Structure 1
Amino acid sequence: MPDSLCHHTATELSALIRAREVSAREVMQAHLDRIELLNPKVNALVSVDPERALAAAASADERLASGAQVGPLHGLPIAHKDTHDTAGIRTTYGSPLLADNVPDRDELVVERLKAAGTIAMGKTNVPEFAAGSHTFNPVFGTTANPYALDRSAGGSSGGAAASLACRMQPLADGSDMGGSLRNPASFCNVVGLRPAPGRVPTWPDLAAWSTLSVQGPMGRTVADVALMLSAIAGPDDRSPIAISEPGSAFQGSLETDLSGLRVAFSLDLGGELVVDPQVRAVLEPAAQVLTDLGGVVEEAAPDLTGADEVFRTLRAWQFELALGEFRDAHPDRIKPSLRDNIDAGRALTGADVGRAERLHAGLYHRVREFFGHYDVLALPVSQVPPFDIDLEFPTEIGGVAMPSYLDWMRSAYWISATGCPAISVPAGFTPQGLPVGIQLVAPHRGERRLLQIAHAFERATHHATVLPQL
């Protein structure tokens, strides 16, 4: 019975705790027991502190018993991404330079989750400084995919996705610049939402005006992701791009009629992407699923010309801004691919950044016009299924070379450059049993409708109910 608590969704657990049918301490102990059993196999969670977590759970029970008002996530265990600062809990960013770093304050997303009632158990593993979509670092090692321990769990929110798949936590926070909420969700058969910039405000943030990197929710169901989004979305004057709409906009049922939904479906963005045949085979039936739900599905894709240059230029600039001092002080203690990105940022000229901004504006308006004809775009999350855990990144797809650790992620990071919200939803498995997600993209700031569409797809397919056999 205790272990069965870990198989409840976050939405179910929240209701059980608030009704006092189960205590927060019982829920926490069940998850800690599961962590002890499974985490040694996947290495998804780090810096776990059972004593601290159980004490906080006991306090949560006392608060509920006193009749005090509690938040929508009251009593739910969570491990925060190891790039999100947590007061009193080690936050390493996967770097030996910060191996002993213990922040003295929570960053905004952690602050909001704590206010909503979550209880921190520890952190989720990440790549070094969250660079790349394969979770390994010199501090804690590599996170394995729960569905195949010899495969990558993705990244940079790889520890979060793997722990969700293993039922070691019911919800997880993450961040996404080039796919870090979506790629690991696809690889681990869970749900990851990249919201529109400003939907989940970030603080502190050296690049407070940037729209490239966002924070967002991960869960095992779309409803759980919506529940978490309701707690972390909403305005905050510490973020200059924060959207004024309150998080409460994402509360309530996601059931809706999709009759007449205009769907643009593309497995390769009009021939612009190289996609592994196994990914194509898994995603092809999704067109019929969307049709059966009432959608009018057409083969179509937006013109994403310039997205690659926009993303790579602004990413390099942002990496230099955030990590340049580390590169100067400790050049031999940063992984080479990260060092190269920082150096690329330093090599940029004003003209380079200006050109990227002009391309960015044009990209936004072409995609805006595209969504005047369609309600949602469906495409692969990742161009490959989960790859060999011993590789830093896939070096080729279908015989086409992938020279850098970014090249194989275009299906995700080109969407990042548009600023549109995008969600990864489980879509099936390869013949080897490896998960594949579908990426659904909505018009700018269209998260509510996107969640409804994703929920309907999830309910029609049930892929998320297939558990890893650990």
Structure 2
Amino acid sequence: MDITGLEAGDLVGMLSRKEIGAQELMRATLERIAATNGAVNAIVELRDEDTLMKEARAADNAASRGALFGLPMAVKDLANVAGLATSQGSPLFAGQVAQTDDLHVARMRAAGAIFIGKTNTPEFGLGSHTFNPVHGVTLNPYDPGRSCGGSSGGAAVALACGMLSLADGSDMMGSLRNPAGWCNVYGMRPSWSLVPSEPRADTFLHQLSTNGPMARSPRDMARLLAVMAGPDPRQPHGAAAPDLGDIRPKAKDARIGWLGDWGGAWPFEAGILDLSEEALRVFEGLGATVEPVQPPFSRDALWQSWVTLRHWAVSANLTPLLESGRLKPEAVWEVEQGQRLSALDVHKASVIRSGWFAAAARVFDHYDALALPTAQVWPFPADWTYPKEIAGQQMDSYHRWMEVVVPASLAGLPAVAVPAGFGENCLPMGIQLIGRRGDDARLLELAQAYHEATLWPTRRPPVPS
């Protein structure tokens, strides 16, 4: 039996019952990494084998066994793991070893995870294509000539290749959703503030990015989310973790609103909408109702609010590094745009965001979830920086091609990316299930029902004729 292909919940159960040992799992994991990582470059900063085996032996002898007991895990290289370098994909930080764990990492460690290394990410997590000058490019496991997405691209690829059973990631603009869709796994952006960020610098104003889980099943994502979630007394925002202990499949009588291309406002490459609608028919087969929904808000207003607030947030973070002259052009652009904003500009953008949140709440009076694709293009060539056009429509920024993820991000809504299968090009794609703020458990139940009906992460694309 290849234990690296098992779900995390099954592995924890087997470890707890001593049907396998942490040493056996660690050895199998390292062998899997040795066999597959060289072709895709998903895991970076891999720790020494002898040290990892020593920590696995200690786990086998431990009395306390938490929710992640004995699981080898690698952390996205934007977060600190004590004793490991945190490069953030930037030469400015390459080789700088973290002295302490970030908050969600400390929670995972306390739950029994064994950290084996980091997962690759774009420089400072900017852009949905995982490449950087420190660790190079991470490649799609279904076509190594193409992008795996990002910014949690290394995590998604490691899951798809069986190098990890669980992974953390972060999501400002689809970074847990796009790579999940492009790698045939699951990713979840939780309700904003459910998983607290680091209690440093400003903790009141910037409500865009969040950490979250990735896995090969929604039930496994619930396991990791339960560990990561919960308020931090040092921060003003925070939500109590929902009951995620026993996520059961539940799709019957659910109502799903299909937003498609936002009333024709967003361009898509051919085949993506058709494949998404095919995936939604699975929910209908499970007893759910799927209906098309007209755009509940202006596309232009959403985008204007989004880019203003994103410029503001990124600029606040990276302005001190601008004079280094070593930021990539997209980062420089974000910083310079943010520096031009006035307080009133930010206020106006926040007013639009507030209007969108209220409009979405009205839609959720009628639906349990809203559905959208996870991306507007198929995985593109890995040597591109980003797509410059979609279906003949020119993209006016490095991230405009990911506009489809903005509605959930802007309003801080929970969204689960589920695999939609494979297109005629044999490339994977996903759909987002977006819920009302706080409906994280309900979305996971809906996604778990879909997972049990499809088992997409265990399947490969059809062989072209």
TM-score, scaled to structure 1: 0.95
Query: Which residue in 2 is equivalent to 1:380?
Result: 373
Matches for 1:234-249 after TM superposition, within 5 Å: 234-243=230-239, 245-246=240-241, 249=243
How far is the alpha carbon of 1:203 from its aligned partner? 1.4
Cα distance in structure 2, aligned partners of 1:137 and 1:297: 40
Residue 44 of structure 2 contacts residue 135 of structure 2 at CA under 8 Å; is this kept in 1?
yes
Per-residue Cα deviation, 1:280-308 (whole angstroms, up to 9, x for no partner): 22112123222221112211044232221
Alpha-carbon separation, structure 2, partners of 1:208 and 1:309: 24
- The equivalent residue for 1:456 is 449
| Equivalent position to 1:101, from 96, 103, 117 | 96
Question: Which of 262, 267, 271 matches 2:260?
Answer: 267
Unaligned runs of 5+ in 2: none
The answer to whether residue 192 in structure 2 is matched with residue 197 in structure 1 is: yes
Determine if the alignment matches structure 1 residue 216 to structure 2 residue 212. yes
Tell me which residue corresponds to 2:58. Answer: 59
Displacement of 1:236 = 1.7
> Which residue in 2 is equivalent to 1:296?
289
Report the AA paired with residue 89 of structure 2. Answer: G
Match of 1:228 in 2: 224
Matched, 1:255 2:249: yes
Change (3 A) 1:363 1:89: same
Specify the alignment match of 2:128 in structure 1: 133
- Which deviations, in whole Å up to 9, do the C-alpha atoms of 1:335-368 show, x marking residues without a partner? 1111100111101111211111111111110111
Aligned 8 A contact 1:301 1:377 in 2: no
Q: Give the CA deviation at 1:413.
A: 2.2
Deviations 1:417-468 (A, max 9, x none): 0211001101110122111101100111110100011111122222221158
Question: What do the CA deviations read for 1:4-26 (whole angstroms, capped 9, x no partner)?
Answer: 01011111111010111111111
Distance (whole Å) between structure 2 residues aligned to residue 195 and residue 324 of structure 1: 28
8 Å Cα contact 1:73-1:118 kept in structure 2? yes
Cα distance in 2 for residues equivalent to 1:253 and 1:418? 25
Change (3 A) 1:468 1:146: farther
8 Å CA contact 2:259–2:295 kept in 1: the answer is no
Q: In structure 2, what is the equivalent of residue 48 of structure 1?
A: 46
Aligned partner of 2:244: which letter? F
Match of 1:19?
17
SS in 2 for 1:97: coil
In the alignment, what sits opposite 1:82? 77
> How far did 1:314 drift?
1.0
CA distance in 2, matches of 1:373, 1:261: 10
Distance in 1 separating the partners of 2:231 and 2:389: 42
2:426: which partner in 1? 433
Residue 403 of structure 1: CA displacement?
Answer: 2.5
Residue 255 of structure 1: how far off its partner (Å): 2.5
User: Of 150, 161, 165, which aligns to 1:166?
Assistant: 161
1:339 aligns with 2:340: no
Given that 1:203 and 1:238 are in contact with CA atoms closer than 8 Å, whether structure 2 keeps it comes out as no
Does the Cα contact within 8 Å between 1:124 and 1:160 map onto a contact in 2?
yes
What letter matches 1:379 in structure 2? L
> Hey, what does 2:400 align to over in structure 1?
407
Q: Measure the CA separation in 2 of the matches of 1:284 and 1:162.
A: 25
CA contact (8 A) 1:165 1:468 kept: no
Counterpart contact for 1:278–1:385, Cα < 8 Å: no
SS in 2 for 1:96: coil
SS of structure 2 residue aligned to 1:122: strand
Question: Which amino acid is 1:194 matched to?
Answer: R
Distance in 1 (CA, whole Å) between partners of 2:247 and 2:296 is 34
Aligned equivalent of 2:458: 465
| Change over 3 Å in CA distance of 1:301–1:120 after alignment to 2 | farther
C-alpha RMSD of matched pairs (Å): 1.4
Alpha-carbon distance in 1 for matches of 2:421, 2:294? 22
**Corresponding residue number in structure 1 for 2:148:** 153
Give, in whole Å, the separation in 1 of the partners of 2:294 and 2:255.
13
In the alignment, residue 131 of structure 2 is paired with which amino acid? F
Give the conservation status (yes or no) of the 8 Å contact 2:314–2:334: yes
Deviations 1:67-117 (A, max 9, x none): x23211100000000000111111100000000211111000100100111
CA contact (8 A) 1:197 1:241 kept: no
Q: Distance in 2 between matches of 1:338 and 1:350?
A: 21
Contact 1:31 1:169 in 2 (8 A): yes
| CA distance, structure 1, for counterparts of residue 295 and residue 232 of structure 2 | 33
Counterparts in 2 of 1:308-347, with a 5 A limit? Answer: 308-328=303-323, 330-331=324-325, 333-347=326-340
Distance in structure 1 (CA, Å) of the matches to 2:170 and 2:267: 25
1:141/1:468 CA distance change after superposition, 3 Å: farther
Letter in 2 for 1:127: P
CA distance, structure 2, for counterparts of residue 78 and residue 303 of structure 1: 40
- Secondary structure of the 2:82 match is coil
Deviations 1:91-148 (A, max 9, x none): 1000000002111110001001001111000000010000000000000100000000
* Deviation of the 1:177 alpha carbon: 0.2
Q: Distance in 1 between matches of 2:395 and 2:235?
A: 36
Verify the 8 A CA contact 1:14 1:72 in the aligned structure 2. yes
Q: Identity of counterpart residues, as a percentage?
A: 41
In structure 1, C-alpha distance between the alignment counterparts of 2:197 and 2:456, rounded to whole Å: 32
Instruction: Specify the SS of the correspondent of 1:16.
Output: helix
Which whole-Å CA distance do the structure 1 matches of 2:51 and 2:359 have between them?
A: 50
- 1:146/1:468 contact within 8 Å kept: no
3-state DSSP of counterpart to 1:285: helix
Is there any run of 5+ residues in structure 1 with no aligned partner, and where? none
> CA–CA distance in 2 between the matches of 1:291 and 1:220?
22
Give SS of 2:247's match: coil
Question: 2:181 matched to which residue of 1?
Answer: 186
Q: Note closer, same or farther for the CA distance 1:119–1:17 as it changes in structure 2 (3 Å cut).
A: same
